[in-house]
Structure 1
Amino acid sequence: QFVLPDANLGVIAFIRLAGIKADQLLKNCPKEYWVPGLTYMSEWSHQWLDYVTRTSGRLTKSVRFCDLGDFKMSMLEREVTRRDGEAMGVMEDCYPQLLQTVFLCNASSWIQVPWRLLRPIMPKRVTSKFEIISPETNVHERKMLLQYIDEENLPTRFGGKNAVWPVHFPLPEN
């Protein structure tokens, strides 16, 4: 879900991976609609980023907060991952370097341990885009999120004060 909690800071995507039913996505969204659908959603985000960049004078990039709480390895679906990768490739071709960071929050050890082992040997252009953090319990890591959203708007699952889920922010009138 792409939201704009503060029109001066840019777009944030909130994703709760355990809430995504991959088998239903594959059943209900044919392959030929996958890339155009994600492209359409991403286009909205990128147009807002462009607007904020032009009006504020500072380069504004996309930020994603992914809640990995309750996510299990059995929920991974290879075809969904492949299709998402294809869609992200198309978006990267159209909008290179518009992704600031993906915050992978509340991850279990089966995600954290391999990441810590592989991170030192992975390319910096990849590792610089991802942070595995526990903002609900770690104040220092929560501060990383507060660069992009104030604590009042940050959902409680990320250590903030907003109890509404899924998050909702009305769009600015511009």
Structure 2
Amino acid sequence: MITQDPGAGATVWLTGLPSAGKSTIAAAVAARLRAGGRRVAVLDGDEVRRTVSAGLGFGRADREENVRRVGGLAEAAARAGAVVLVPVIAPYAACRARVRRRHEAAGIPYMEIYVATPLEVCAQRDVKGLYARQAAGEISGLTGVDDPYEVPAAPDLRLDTSHESPAASASAVYRLLSARGLA
């Protein structure tokens, strides 16, 4: 097992459908890491969309650009020594792979966490009302419904929040970080 310097940064990318639990898990992991004295940054997809990517839409090119921007921010923060938690849908496998390759080329640990919550469970949670708005015809292009979501082929960790609590999912992520010397 290769361990990292305890002050070394890393990126933990949580991908999955809307309302899968990505942000909830990231917040719990961040709190646990901070309690242990780690520097942590959370690049939440909704927050990034309101700020850094405010001018982007939801077509494929804009979604790819959003992931590129978030990946660059994560890389910079990880290089500065933070464990960066990135709860972002990032629906396209090729975009996620590009972010991973950039991190690897820079020598920055990168872990992809697939929050594999089934569409039915996400639609039932509907935290932001997106599924209801899509069903009512108010919006289109909802990831996993009428826009594609490409499931990670080989994530570093797979979580199904329909069968485990957010706390259990966060503990699994924390154990992965610990196993890699990053917690």
Answer yes or no: same fold by TM over 0.5. Answer: no
Name the one with the larger strand percent.
1
**TM-score normalised to structure 1 length:** 0.30
Q: Which has the higher contact order (CA 8 A, sep 6+)?
A: 2
